[in-house]
Structure 1
Amino acid sequence: MAVPQIVAQRPVIAGDKELTVSTIRIAADYYDTVIFDDSVDKRHVGMVIGGYVIDHSSKRATDRDAAMENHREALIAVRNEQPRAVRS
């Protein structure tokens, strides 16, 4: 199996958010988009933004176009939404 390849990666600093949206290619038909918390105190880990649980969940795509759409939507969410706690 090949090493995952970074397809797109963008840091976003807005207000108290220091997050990175990252999309990687794992295989020919497997791309994952993830949101990471880059803040020193990791204040947003486990919170939800744009349908992602920060540092915990990803969205899969089966081709590059769909992966780039996931990446774009995640960037918009990170810029415009506030992270919120996961409901129990």
Structure 2
Amino acid sequence: MSIPTIVAQRQVIAGDKQLTVSTIRIAADYYDTVLFDDSPDKRHSGQVLGGFVIDSSSKRADDREAAMEQHREALIAARDEQPRSIA
């Protein structure tokens, strides 16, 4: 197994959100995209945004093209949507 490699990473600051969208390559056919809460008080950790649970879940893609599309969608959600509590 290879060492995970960052494929794309971008910070998003919008309103009270300070998030990082990160996509890594874990293996030849395994990419993960995740949202991290970068705010000092972690106010959005555990909330849902764009189908992700911030700081807790990831979405898998089987190839780079799908991973980059997923990354783009996560960036748009991070910029435009409001996180919501799970329930």
TM-score, normalising length: structure 2: 0.99
Seq. identity, %: 77
1:24-57 CA-to-partner distances (Å, cap 9, x unmatched) read 0000000000000000100000000000000000
Q: Which residue of 1 aligns with 2:75?
A: 75
Per the TM alignment, residue 3 of structure 1 is displaced from its structure 2 partner at its CA by 1.2
Q: Which residue of 1 aligns with 2:56?
A: 56
Per the TM alignment, residue 2 of structure 1 is displaced from its structure 2 partner at its CA by 1.5
**Aligned-residue CA RMSD (Å):** 0.4
Per the TM alignment, residue 78 of structure 1 is displaced from its structure 2 partner at its CA by 0.5
Between the two proteins, the alignment pairs up a number of residues equal to 87
Q: Output the CA distance in 2 between the equivalents of 1:24 and 1:66.
A: 12
Q: Which residue of 1 aligns with 2:30?
A: 30
Q: Which runs of 5+ in 1 are unaligned?
A: none
TM-score, normalising length: structure 1: 0.97
Q: Which runs of 5+ in 2 are unaligned?
A: none
User: Quick one: which amino acid aligns to residue 18 of structure 2?
Assistant: E
